[in-house]
Structure 1
Amino acid sequence: MLSFHALEGDRIRLRPLAVEDAPAVHDYASDEQVSRFIGWRLMSRPEETAAFVDTMLQREAAGTHRYASIVEKSTQTVIGTAMLFNFDQEANRAELGYVLHRGYWGKGYGTECVALATGFAFDVLKLHKLQASVVDANVGSARVLEKNGYRLEGRLTDHYYLEGRYLDALLFGRIQDQG
């Protein structure tokens, strides 16, 4: 069976998230421009990021989440994190998440990552539906989802509380047979 941690596209591949990825994760988790869009608390110290990576690894070990480091193939650089989580076995759905280092925004890496994760979720996990939520100001992420066949399903007012202010969430979804 194909693994989430072995997906490969033209320019990126996914591999298991590792403790050694914490410095690369810190590069984007400590960037205010990235943090304001992803729903993670801004990481100001490398130790905070290392603890967060450890939490992600614990969640994956418990089977509640799947995390993968996004690696740019040409440089073997970790440029982001992909995740599947909030699995609902009865409804046969899950949530998709992804975050990229700001230096890789607007270059098609997010679109490729979402295509790989979506294909895996539908073809291997046989999910009926994938969902994703984005901060309403995150126009780039909304475009990535739309390019991959996700449809805007709604808005949650003041859903996120980040850096001392409330932000709306846009809810996107894709049913397996749509796209």
Structure 2
Amino acid sequence: MSDLYIKLAQHPVINSERLILRPMTLDDTNALFELTSDLETAKYVSNIHRSLNDAADYIVTKFLNAPLGQFAIEEKLTGKMIGSVSYNRIDSLMKTAEIGYMLNRHYWNKGYMTETLKTMLEYGFEKFEFNSLMAVFDKNNIASRKVILKSGLKYLFEDPYSRKDFIDPQKNVTDVFYRLTKDEYFHPE
């Protein structure tokens, strides 16, 4: 087992100023359904969930099946689960990962996602010792681009025809890739 996974297991809960990043549970089914059944929230990041059972199934397959590096985003003030964030596609040999996230649209424009992403970068480089962290988003997702830029990731490239749209399978998506290396994080220009 990789040292990276041991470090991830040692930090199942991460705190930031206004948020708690904690393991997702089946108790989060209603809150996740609120996110993933809303077209505005889910259109760039997830298939639309049409039932609580769809949301529960997603929690089990995405968060409970392999929980290391997978977090629910909970607002400290209210205790409400308002989103999710995770280290995806972890390569323990190269110590790289992709950070994926989604946030309930009722919590947009409050700086929560930027706070979350900066916290994931901080823990990723300082505690988990990743060499490189990447974020990928649909080119049309302007809000995600703003979050990524505020968080300090650097543009890499665009990948036209990288996948089909989550909502409209007839539509092709251009994904945009941003990355930050440990050298860039510890020695910013």
Do the two structures share a fold, i.e. TM-score over 0.5?
Answer: yes
C-alpha distance 4-101 of structure 1, shift in aligned 2 (>3 A): farther
The answer to whether structure 1 residue 29 and structure 2 residue 44 are counterparts is no
- One-letter code aligned to 1:133: V
Q: 1:123 aligns with which of 113, 121, 126?
A: 126
Q: SS at 2:66's partner residue?
A: helix
Question: Given residue 36 of structure 1, which amino acid in structure 2 is its aligned partner?
Answer: K
The whole-number CA distance in structure 2 between the counterparts of 1:79 and 1:92 is 28
8 Å contact from structure 2 (residues 25, 64) kept in 1: no
Give, in angstroms, the shift of residue 143 of structure 1.
1.2
Please point out which of 146, 157, 173 is paired with 1:154. Answer: 157
TM-score if structure 1 supplies the norm length?
Answer: 0.91
Matched residues, number: 175
1:21-52 per-residue CA deviation (whole Å, 9 max, x = no partner) reads 011001011111122111x2111111111111
Q: Which residue of 2 is the match for residue 78 of structure 1? A: 81
What root-mean-square deviation, in Å, do the aligned CA atoms of Structure 1 and Structure 2 show? 1.6
Q: Where does residue 106 of structure 2 map in the other structure?
A: 103
**C-alpha distance after superposition, 1:130-164 (max 9, x if no partner):** 01100111111111111111011111112231222
TM-score by length of 2: 0.87
**Separation in 2, partners of 1:157, 1:34:** 23
**Displaced runs of 4+ in structure 1, greater than 4 A?**
1-4
In structure 2, the residue matched to 1:178 is: 184
Query: For the Cα contact (< 8 Å) 1:70–1:82, is it kept in 2?
Result: yes
Matched, 1:18 2:25: yes
Report how far residue 58 of structure 1 moved.
4.0
Q: Distance in 1 between matches of 2:145 and 2:12?
A: 24
1:60 pairs, out of 48, 61, 66, with 66
Q: Distance in 1 between matches of 2:41 and 2:12?
A: 23
SS in 2 for 1:60: coil
Q: Percent identity?
A: 23
